[in-house]
Structures are given as C-alpha cells and as structure tokens.
Chain A
Amino acid sequence: MALLTLDKLTKIVSGDGNGEKILLDHVDLSLAEGDFVTVLGNNGAGKSTLFNLISGSLRPTSGRIILAGTDITQASEAAHARLLSRVFQDPKLGTAPRMTVAENLSLAELRGQKRALRRRSLKEKLPEYERRCAQVGNGLERQLNTPAGELSGGQRQALSLLMATMVAPKLLLLDEHTAALDPKSSAQLMQLTAQLIKEQHLTCLMITHRLDDALKYGDRLLLLQNGRLVKDLDSAAKKALTRAELLSFFKATM
C-alpha cells in the first residue's frame, strides 16, 4: 500500500485580475514507504504549493491527500503534524529564536501531541539532545542552552532538521532546506539529511534547486512545470540521467 497518495490534487486561487490562477493542476502521485524523492521545478512551478497542501497550511480546491491510510485532505494542520514534519527554506522559520536549542528540541519531541500542564525536566533530556546534536558536526551540541536566534544559519537549519526528525515522521518534507546556506554548510546538512533518512528509514520529499543534489540524493525524481507533474523518473531512469540532460530538460521547461 502506498504511504502517500495524491489524487488529482488541485489548487486554484483568484488571480490579480478577475481570472483564476492554477497553482497546482490535477497532480497524481504515489509514494511507497522509504522513498526518497527529489522535486525540481522553476519558480512558480507549484513546488511550495504542493508542500503547503500536503502539510495542511493550505486547503486544496479539489483532489485528495491520503497519508498512511488516512485521508487528511480537510484535516487541521495539527492533524497533519501528527503524521509529517517539514523543514523550511528559511532557517528562521523552523525554530523559535528566543527559546534555547534544548527547548526547541523539547518542543519538537511532542510534535502532533496534546500539550498538557505537565512540567518537563530538560536536564534529564540534555544527554540525549547532546548526542543528537553531535551528529551534525558543527558544534551545536555545545550550544544547547543558547537561544536559537543566536545560532549561525547552518546551525539553525541543522536544528530545524533535527527537530523535524526528533520523532520519526511518516513523511518528511524538505523545502529547499539548504538553499539559504553557504556551500560548506549546505553539504554538511545534506550529509546529515541522507544519514537521518537512512537511519530512520524515512519517506521523504525534497525540493531542491541544486541539480547536483537532485542527482546525488534520492531514488526518484519529480519535475513540476506550471503546476503540473511533467516528469516522474524512477530509480533506474534517475541513475541513467546525466547532469547535462537534466539541465537541458530544466531549461526547456523555463
């Protein structure tokens, strides 16, 4: 059974004039458990809309979203959060800046759960948080008591990724999560991403603008154009794809 099924998912909004603008046009997609899928597309191709719909921050105009056997098309964002997590492009969006690294991780441990008047001892959790942060390799483990707003962009985005995978989600959405980082931090974060996906056997959809990353990571590649899914390459077809072919295909869709 598919882990994620998108059935003719469509999003139409009012345009600037009187007309309507189609952001996503009857997208059909089926993801098996453990799939690591990269999503490519130009600006306005519908990538972010796709993620906003799957994560519940937007409601589709028509179509259905079925995740882990549950129809979540009309479910609240909180209900979506019980099943999936998301890392945003902007490092500032994924963390609470005035809360410490440890507090942010503690928040993420309860993703999708009810928050009660229960007091939580962070001290007991620190060794576990330290171990997780040490995986990143950028000194985050030494800054557990530092407010997230004082971290570098790379550290903050690594924290967002750790938060998103603190409790293994059924589906991980990575929304160009390395785009705002320098090449070194970006490579470091992609390594961590691949490691976490493998360790936790996560199903992942990753939007990227970096062609190299799209080719290097993942076992399937989707190409969106003008709100439509125009290419769906399986593992074998993706392996056979060269950078030049992908680039020419990418240019042709612009």
Chain B
Amino acid sequence: MIVSTIGQGLLWALLGLGIFMTFRILDFPDMTAEGTFPLGGAVCVTAISQGVPPLLATVLGVGAGMLAGLVTGLLYTKGKIPVILAGILVMSGLNSVILFVMKSPNLSLLDYPRLQNAFSELPLPPYFDLVILGLLSVGILVTCLYLFFQTDLGQAYIATGDNEKMARSLGINTDRMKILGLTLSNGVIALSGALVAQNDGYADASKGIGVIVIGLASIIIGEVLFHELSLLERLLAVVVGSILYQLLISLIIWAGFDTTYLKIISATVLAICLMLPQLRTKILKTKKAGQV
C-alpha cells in the first residue's frame, strides 16, 4: 500500500508544482486548477478510448490545460478581470467542456492501455510501474522548471511575482509573464489530472473539487517541514509534501475514518499546516519572554 501511495503522491506532486508556479512564484491563487485537473483527465481518457496512444493522449490533455490557462491569463491581463474571478469563470466553463468531451459525467478506461503500462513489462514488484512513471514525470518537470528559472525569461518570471512594479520599470512585460505562468502551470496541472485519471482507470467531471486544497497542502507541508530552501529544494519540498499528504490520507482511511469526510479532513490538515508557522513564532516569543 505504501508503494502505491508514494506513486500516487508523485502524480499528485505535479499538481502541487503547477500550483506552486502561480501561488508561490507569481504570488496569486489560480482557481482554474479545479477545472484543468479534471479537463486533463477527461481529454486524455477520451483520447485513449478513441484509440489514441496514451503518451499522445496525455500530451493532448496537457495542451487542453494550457489552453484553459491561456484563457484565464487573457481574461486577467487583457480583460482586467480579477485573477480569482477569471479563474472561477474558466473553471466553471470547463465543466461544460469536460461534459462535451466525454459526453457523460465520467468515462472508464476499461482495458485500454495506460502510460504506466510502458513499464509493466519490466520485472518489478506491484505498483512500481506507477512509482517509475511518477519519478520520471516529476524528475523531468523539476529539471525543466529549475533550468527555466535560471534563464533570463525565468528570472523575469520570478521578478514579476516578487515585485511587479520593479519588474515593469525594468521593461519586463509583466502581463506576458502572467499569461505564460497561467498557461504553463495549468498545463502541468492537466498533466497531473491526465496521469491520475489513467491510474484511477477513469475520468470524472467532478474530480477537480478540492484539488486546490490538495495542491496547497503539498506546498505548505513542504514549507512547514523544511526552511531556508533554495529554489530547487523548494520544488523538491513540494514533491515530499505531496507524498506525505497522500500517506496521511491513506493513514486516515486505513484508520477507519468515513471517506465522506475526506475533504473536510484535508481542509483541516491544510488549515493546521497554514497556522503552524504562526503558532511556532508565538510559542518561541512566549518562551523568550519567559526567559527574560
């Protein structure tokens, strides 16, 4: 069970990394994620069920996610709609797109091939194909992000989130950076959705509900556990956070909690993690005051 959970944690880590690109680097929350995650799964599963090879179907899912992100970016920067509202609008609209693509609220993969089947021929214990797929996807993405952030364009992207006024005064087209960020991050989120759907064996239009909480939990758990990190380490902390979050959820299910309450448990875990840094500061201050 642990191996399977680690594999799932790696696939969900892609979601965390996608959200990290906007929430932590560009410094705004993007609600589109709740639409692009199931969209990636829907496009991918529909394509596979139409005979498209899994790799190409996954790429199609990513492309659909990028398009959705681009729409949010354009609504936000050109349409001057606040980013949260732009994300909610696109997320809401994507529900219809998903139903249009799948022609039903959910679609099963049945016996169609999946991306992890590429590793099934290898002499591996059960669920290791999933772990290899997860490691490969996360490895490629983290490497790409790390290299991107070291380029002139990547540095301009970081600067946009860090101090937009300064970035603009240096001639950086911050609107373009936001559109780029929303497009890429939603592509990554859709990739996560496509891989998770293949692992689950089906795509579901309602799969996106609460995914932002899961993505944020991965980021926050990583940040609570590790401090003073370099950018590469921060990316890896998201991956560790995602695996730990999935392990925690598995533990909760294993302990016999009713899965009906899974979302509220997830939200509570995230709320506690978000409060931890402040609680820690308060405790340290109280201790110091006591010493004086």
Residues of A at under 8 Å CB distance from B? Answer: 55, 57, 76-82, 85-86, 88, 92-99, 103, 106-108, 110-113, 115-120, 163
Contacts of A85 in B (CB 8 A): 169-170
B residues near A99, Cβ cutoff 8 Å: 155, 158-159, 162
From residue A207, how far is it (CB to closest CB) to chain B in Å? 15
CB distance from B19 to the nearest CB of A (A): 18
Name the contact of A78 in the complex, choosing from B150, B153, B172 (C-beta under 8 A): B172
Min CB distance, A121 to chain B, in Å?
9
Q: A93-B163, A96-B163, A99-B162 are in contact. Are A115 and B153 (CB under 8 A)?
A: yes
Closest Cβ neighbor of B157 among chain A residues: A115
**In contact, B155 and A120 (Cβ under 8 angstroms):** yes
Contact A96 B168 (CB under 8 A): no
From B156, B158, B166, B168, A95 is in contact (CB under 8 Å) with B166
Q: Which A residues are CB-close (under 8 A) to B162? A: 96-99
- Separation in Å of the A204 CB from the closest CB of chain B? 16
Query: Taking the complex as formed, is B148 at the interface, i.e. its CB lies under 8 A from any CB of chain A?
Result: yes
A-B contact pairs, 23 of them (CB 8 A): A57-B168, A77-B171, A78-B171, A79-B171, A81-B170, A85-B169, A85-B170, A93-B166, A94-B166, A94-B169, A96-B158, A97-B162, A103-B155, A107-B159, A110-B156, A110-B171, A112-B170, A119-B147, A120-B150, A120-B151, A120-B152, A120-B155, A163-B170
Q: How far is the CB of B165 from chain A (nearest CB, A)?
A: 6
What B residues does A120 contact at CB under 8 A? 150-152, 155
Q: Which residue of B lies closest to A121 (CB)?
A: B150
Check: B173 CB closer than 8 A to any chain A CB.
yes
B23 CB to closest chain A CB, in angstroms? 14
With both chains docked as a complex, state the minimum distance between the C-beta of B30 and any C-beta of chain A, in angstroms.
Answer: 19
Which of A57, A92, A99 has the most chain B CB atoms inside 10 A of its CB? A99
- A115 B155 Cβ-Cβ under 8 A: yes
- Taking A57-B168, A115-B153 as known contacts, 15 extra A-B pairs with beta carbons closer than 8 A to each other, sorted by chain A number, are A77-B168, A78-B168, A78-B171, A78-B173, A81-B168, A82-B171, A94-B166, A96-B162, A99-B159, A107-B159, A107-B167, A111-B171, A115-B151, A116-B151, A116-B153
Q: Give the tally of cross-chain contacts (CB within 8 A).
A: 87
CA A103 – CA B157 in complex, angstroms? 13
Using a CB–CB cutoff of 8 Å, the interface residues on chain B facing chain A are 147-148, 150-156, 158-159, 162-163, 165-173
**Min C-beta distance of B143 to chain A, whole Å:** 13
| B171 and A112 contacting across the interface, CB-CB below 8 Å | yes
Q: Complex: how many Å from CA A99 to CA B148? A: 15
Please determine whether B158 and A86 come into contact, CB atoms closer than 8 angstroms.
Answer: no
- Which residues of A sit under 8 angstroms from B150, Cβ to Cβ? 119-120
Bound form: Cα–Cα A119–B147 in Å: 8
Q: Please measure, in the bound complex, the distance between the C-alpha atom of A163 and the C-alpha atom of B170, giving whole angstroms.
A: 9
Q: How far is the CB of A167 from chain B (nearest CB, A)?
A: 10
Shortest Cβ distance from B208 into chain A, in angstroms?
Answer: 30
Are A97 and B171 neighbours in the complex by a CB distance under 8 Å? no
Chain B residues positioned under 8 Å from A80 (CB to CB): 171
- Identify which of A86, A92, A112, A117 contacts B153 (C-beta below 8 A): A117
Point out the residues of chain A lying under 8 angstroms from B173, CB to CB.
76, 78
Chain A residues in 8 Å Cβ range of B165: 88, 93
Residues from chain B with a CB closer than 8 A to the CB of A93 are 163, 165-166
B112 shortest CB reach to chain A, Å: 36
Report the separation of the CA atoms of residues A55 and B170 in the bound assembly, to the nearest whole angstrom: 11
Partner of B151 from the list A81, A98, A113, A117 (CB cut-off 8 Å) is A117
**How many Å lie between the Cα of A84 and that of B185 in the bound state?**
33
Chain B nearest CB, measured from A231 CB (Å)? 29
Contact B158 A77 (CB under 8 A): no
Report whether A115 and B172 are in contact in the complex, using a CB–CB cutoff of 8 Å.
Answer: yes
Q: A155 → chain B, closest Cβ, in Å?
A: 16
Contact B151 A107 (CB under 8 A): no
